[in-house]
């Protein structure tokens, strides 16, 4: 094969093209050999099962669900699932309103934020919010009394 004489240009180009293809194949084989060798000896062909994940019970501190920050009470899971589907539950826990105020907020979200019709759940959600996130009688803190101020 190496001794054969090439008579014309087409035969020479065909031979060069054949040789280049062979060199490419050998080059790719040399590049892939370490990976094939590694995986053939280090791959476990046994069927692996996904690990079983056991969820711990929800942590509750002082009557507040640690995961969500909501006050534990009837229907708090419903409120958590419904409200957190669209926004952070912090938007609930940092606010307070009367039942009418929460209802107006729900209607606003339905009109402008694509909140779905809550159906029978709306009354349960409003019951929870009215009971646990209503306006408080007291302000942010009690007034300061008997303070000895000093001059700067």
Query: What is the pLDDT, as a whole number, of residue 102?
Result: 94
Query: What is the pLDDT, as a whole number, of residue 38?
Result: 67
Q: Along the chain (152 residues), what's the average pLDDT of each consecutive run of 10 residues?
A: 67 86 84 69 62 64 86 91 91 92 94 92 94 81 80 81
Q: Measured between alpha carbons, how far is 128 from 68 in angstroms, rounded to an integer? A: 15
Q: Measured between alpha carbons, how far is 67 from 73 in angstroms, rounded to an integer? A: 15
Query: What is the pLDDT, as a whole number, of residue 81?
Result: 92
Query: What is the pLDDT, as a whole number, of residue 6?
Result: 66
Tokens of 130: 């009215």
Tokens of 31: 């590049």
Tokens of 71: 């006050």
Return the HEC string of 83-127: HCCCCCCHHHHCCCCCHHHHHHHHHHHHHHCCCCCCCCHHHHHHH
- Outline where DSSP puts E strands in the chain: 60-61, 64-65
Query: What is the pLDDT, as a whole number, of residue 131?
Result: 93
Q: Measured between alpha carbons, how far is 56 from 54 in angstroms, rounded to an integer? A: 6
The residue ranges of every structural domain in the chain are 7-44, 60-132
């Amino acid at each position: 094969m190496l001794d054969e004489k090439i008579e014309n240009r087409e035969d020479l180009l065909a031979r060069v093209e054949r040789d280049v293809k062979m060199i490419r194949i050998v080059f790719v084989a040399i590049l892939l050999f370490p990976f094939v060798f590694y995986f053939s000896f280090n791959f476990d062909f046994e069927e692996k099962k996904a690990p079983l994940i056991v969820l711990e019970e929800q942590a509750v501190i002082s009557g507040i669900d640690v995961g969500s920050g909501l006050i534990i009470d009837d229907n708090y899971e419903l409120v958590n699932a419904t409200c957190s589907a669209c926004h952070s539950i912090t938007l609930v826990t940092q606010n307070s309103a009367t039942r009418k105020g929460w209802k107006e907020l729900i209607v606003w979200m339905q009109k402008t934020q694509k909140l779905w019709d809550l159906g029978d759940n709306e009354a349960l959600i409003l019951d929870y919010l009215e009971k646990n996130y209503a306006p408080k009688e007291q302000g942010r803190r009690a007034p300061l009394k008997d303070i000895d101020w000093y001059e700067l």
